[in-house]
Chain A
């Protein structure tokens, strides 16, 4: 083999040893996706072989030397029907099969752990419910269904984990979700697959799938001290939400306790489900989402709260399961503003708002 360049030789050896045509199968979805893929590859091979066989056979059998006289044939309705209906039937099978998988990936089970992901040029910011923040890496436990709620703070991005066979676009201005359950501990690629400008190809990271015990250790050692809901609680007070949303007799805004995932009647008569997207949207564009019975007096927070802050607020509002929590927030902020004023400092307007 001395006549082959050593570089090329090494290259070939390396390739043959590492040749892969499938990414690792590391989620509960992956085997289903791969099965569908195999079926589709099978269909493609059948189709191509069929066409190639016809073309090759006819070319050999009816080439001019062997078959100097062409026989004119108009067509055949039976054949047309055959090759219309059989492909149609096959395609419809794949339609149903693919639709089932699609609904599986995009409709998380209700008990999933929620992780928020904010895309920005050119990084992934990941927020765990316990308040752990990560950039361009995602630590998750195996065997736990995980719902990723995505949003972008600038342009379109796309959150792709090939080993899990899932992908979802992160869109400015709206939440999207994707779900997966990792099955194999390891380190897997995380890509941005929607072109997002200069460093699109650097917007990559790693997904670390850990055993549940390792994950608990990681969680404990990476905590920032406050959960998302706790951060949200602080923000709720500091931007003055509690001035109106406080469940007192004179409150000008609706009580937010237990509001998450309930149906709400709006002033225009329609009803909506108060999910994450609705809560976020209402903070940014309150005037278009006024609940029935309330005046449209809430100011917009467009441009004042970052996407991370909105996630904190959403998590906080989701966590409100009784009036008790709101009252607590209210008290805390009154105490802190009272403290502030006794110290002779300027009283922040939002903190001072009296019910």
Chain B
């Protein structure tokens, strides 16, 4: 029952003569491609572009908050900056981050298919993403929007004269892009698994994306409806959210959070999916409790739809419904705890190495644990009263979204970089970047928990001087974090030309995607594989490697 996996000699690895990257050349071959791998690359480039914009805006926020008065920008400008930061990061970065890039690239490879079920819809979803992105960019160029990413009515419908409808249309479009991605994944996972690939032989990455896709196609239409209603209310004054016309502003909160809470799981589940692969690979060990991890993803997707009202505990909802939603929120925290413990136990009796993806995965586990447990503070009704709408909430969701999801995304990008490009990233500098990111993150966001308990409200351009010291820490941390994110932006493009050639399976991982050439052929597999072993079967891999060596010898 034990396996030794030795890394292959990379000095003999050669780039394959033919791959999806050099199948065709020219801009047109990229812009009209149906190849999921090329679309993934288009997405990777696009979300990086928006991440840079969102990151610069985050930097501006932290600079403004260095001093108590709103001295760097006017309050209106600050409000626009944090609104655009939220909108871009949530809808144009976090939601598509892992699924549309890494997921798009890997799901057909992992299930043993030649492409996603609907290649043209996949391409359409990228174009919709960009139409949405252009609307958001137009919003910025025309003068921004200052409603926050939550578009709270009646502020967004009657009390601001910024570009609410433009931004809402952008999010509407980006939403359809994510619906199409989810649809494509679900059909692919159901219908296009290769012979022998049963549900319980699927890598956990696929399970995570399956759960995500369910949320995408059930939740996102509600967001679309909500934004249309905001637009109609703003333009035609129809009154659904206006109490003087018999409407109810709380209805907006219900509709918005019915999508936007499950959307949190759209953002985090694919990250968890990445972590399962990375932890298994660098421990050379199957994931502990495969079925528990697989079903915990599905449980999160299902329970995630039943907790939205925990964003509204202080908004005058019925106290008894608050009880129900608090209880459901406690339940949805359990599957995440199950995952964390299973990953920890995967390390037990493994044979662990500490490459960059593993460092990011460790970062994820630490930060996500803090992020998840501080979520319990907010689910606890009486505690939520004091903590909601303060920096505690800001710290909590940044621990989950940035400390969790972004760490997982970086883990995934580094882990599959050799597969996507055929070349290795530089290991020493990328380890440094992972450590810098971790330290910068802690220094930036940990003080915000304390600020939150002290009562500092969110979305304040100016704040009382008592809160300054912790804000200075936070801003200092943000500059460290900035360096952590800048480094990969420099060394990853560098590695495209100067990186070492990776070979098929540089990590000796078990997934189907690692058994083919890097970068893969356009058709992925010369012939459709037959899956005759479970996921994370390192004995199979060891036998196969042994066999190959014998055949060659």
Contact = CB atoms under 8 A, between A and B. Distances in A.
A54 B383 CA distance: 29
Interface stretch (B23-31, B37-45, B451-459): B451-459
B382 A99 contact: yes
B3 A69 contact: yes
B373 interface: yes
Contacts of A198: 75-76, 79, 146
Contacts of A3: none
Interface in A5-38: 11, 14-15, 18-23, 32-33, 36-37
Interface in B519-553: 538-539
A59 B288 contact: no
Nearest to B282: A64
A102 B337 contact: no
B312 to A, nearest CB: 8
A121 B382 contact: no
A167 B469 contact: no
Given A51-B344, A94-B330, A303 B385 contact: no
Given A97-B382, A193-B458, A197-B159, A59 B352 contact: yes
Interface residues of A, number: 94
Given A33-B383, A33-B386, A173-B249, A68 B313 contact: no
B454 A55 contact: no
B353 interface: yes
Contacts of B248: 173
B292 A75 contact: yes
Interface in A49-93: 51-52, 54-55, 58-59, 62-64, 67-76, 79-80, 83-84, 87-88, 91-92
A64 B4 CA distance: 10
Interface string B352-380: 11100000001001100110011011011
Interface string B326-344: 1100110110011011101
Nearest to A194: B389
Contact of B283 (A19, A62, A121, A197): A62
Interface stretch (A150-158, A315-323, A324-332): A150-158
Chain B CB within 10 A, most for which of A21, A201, A284: A201
Nearest to B313: A102
B2 A70 contact: yes
B79 A71 contact: no
Contact of B155 (A160, A191, A195): A195
Given A22-B454, A62-B347, A162-B454, A55 B292 contact: no
B350 interface: yes
B365 A71 contact: no
Contacts, number: 306
Contact of A200 (B342, B384, B459): B459
A167 B382 CA distance: 10
Interface stretch (B9-17, B212-220, B460-468): B460-468
Contact of B249 (A156, A168, A202): A156
Nearest to B147: A195
A106 B347 contact: no
Contacts of B462: 201-202
B383 A40 contact: yes
A289 interface: no
B348 A73 contact: yes
B450 to A, nearest CB: 5
Given A106-B319, A167-B385, A23 B286 contact: no
Given A55-B362, A84-B334, A84-B338, A62 B348 contact: yes
Given A51-B340, A70-B283, A95-B326, A303 B244 contact: yes
Nearest to A277: B316
A94 B323 contact: no
A37 B75 CA distance: 33
A263 interface: no
A21 B457 CA distance: 15
Contact of B244 (A37, A67, A168, A302): A302
Given A201-B75, A202-B75, A202-B462, A73 B160 contact: no
A97 B322 CA distance: 14
A100 interface: yes
B389 to A, nearest CB: 4
A103 to B, nearest CB: 6
A73 B349 contact: yes
Contacts of A235: none
B291 interface: yes
A272 B500 CA distance: 76
A71 B346 CA distance: 10
A189 interface: yes
Given A71-B2, A102-B322, A162-B454, A172 B349 contact: no
A284 B243 CA distance: 10
B291 to A, nearest CB: 7
Contacts of B348: 54, 58, 62, 73
Contact of B330 (A23, A92, A105, A285): A92
A121 B76 CA distance: 14
Contact of B380 (A95, A162, A195): A95
A284 B242 CA distance: 13
Chain B CB within 10 A, most for which of A11, A70, A105, A154: A70
A211 interface: no
Nearest to B5: A70
Interface in A319-350: none
Interface in A181-201: 189, 191-201
Interface in B443-486: 450, 453-455, 457-464, 466, 469, 472
Contact of B382 (A32, A43, A173): A32
Contacts of A84: 334, 337-338
Contacts of B351: 62-64, 67-70
Given A76-B289, A94-B380, A197-B146, A160 B455 contact: yes
B235 interface: no
B284 interface: yes
B237 interface: no
Contacts of A44: 370, 373-374, 376-377
A102 B385 contact: yes
B390 interface: yes
Interface string A159-187: 01011011111011110100000000000
Contacts of A70: 2-5, 283-285, 349-351, 538
A192 B286 contact: no
A204 interface: yes
Nearest to B2: A69
B187 interface: no
Contact of B4 (A22, A69, A103): A69
A62 B350 contact: yes
Nearest to A170: B316
Interface string A88-127: 1001101101111111111100000000000001000000
Nearest to A177: B316
A53 to B, nearest CB: 9
Contact of A21 (B70, B290, B450, B458): B450
B59 interface: no
A21 B376 contact: no
Given A95-B381, A201-B463, 8 more contacts: A15-B469, A84-B334, A160-B455, A163-B455, A167-B385, A195-B155, A200-B75, A201-B75
The 6 A-B residue pairs with the shortest CB-CB distance in the complex, in nearest-first order? A101-B382, A162-B455, A173-B243, A98-B380, A102-B381, A75-B289
20 contacts: A11-B472, A14-B469, A47-B369, A54-B347, A68-B4, A70-B3, A70-B349, A72-B285, A79-B341, A87-B333, A95-B380, A98-B379, A98-B381, A160-B457, A168-B316, A193-B390, A193-B458, A195-B155, A200-B460, A204-B464
Interface of B: 1-5, 70, 75-76, 79, 146, 148, 150, 152, 154-155, 158-160, 243-244, 246, 248-250, 283-286, 288-292, 313-316, 319, 322-323, 326-327, 330-331, 333-334, 337-338, 340-342, 344-345, 347-354, 362, 365-366, 369-370, 373-374, 376-377, 379-386, 388-390, 450, 453-455, 457-464, 466, 469, 472, 538-539
